[in-house]
Amino acid sequence: MTGHQAEAVVPEVDLSKVQLPMECGPFPVAVSLKASAVVDGKPLGVLAAHCQADMGTPPDQMFVVEGAGRPVELLSDRDGYTLTELAIRSDGSIRGAARGYSSDDIPRFSPDMAVELVWTKSTGGVWAKTETRTAAHTA
C-alpha cells in the first residue's frame, strides 16, 4: 500500500430509475435527452421528457436530480421548448439548446427560434435560468 487511501467512487445518478412528476393521462412519458455526472463529489443528473402523444411531439419538460433526491423541474412544458441538446458542465452548470416559438401565432410544426439555456446553482441551492433566443435560420 502506498499510504494513500483509495477514494470511494461516487456513482452517477441512475436516471433509468427516476420517477418524473408528469401528468400524461393515458400516454407514456418519453425521455428525449439525459445527462449525468459527478460534480464536486456529488451526483447530478438531468432529463428532458415529454408525453408521448399519438400525433406530434409535445414540448419538453426538464428535471434535475441531485443524488438520491426527487426530480426538480427546471423547464415546464408551458415554456413550449423542444430540447435538442443537454449537458452538465464541469463547473456544475447545466446547458441546453432548444427550438421554440416567437409567438403563439407561429404554427407548432415550425419553430422559428433557437434558444440557448443555462442553469446555475446559487449559494442558496436554487437553480437560476438564463436564456438567449435568436431567430432560427430556415432554408
| Percent above pLDDT 70 for the chain | 91
- pLDDT tens string 50-77: 999 888 778 999 999 998 889 999 999 9
Pairing of strands 94-100, 82-88: antiparallel
CB 103 within 8 A of CB 116: no
For the segment 13-35, what is each residue's pLDDT rounded down to a tens digit?
A: 888 889 999 999 999 999 999 99
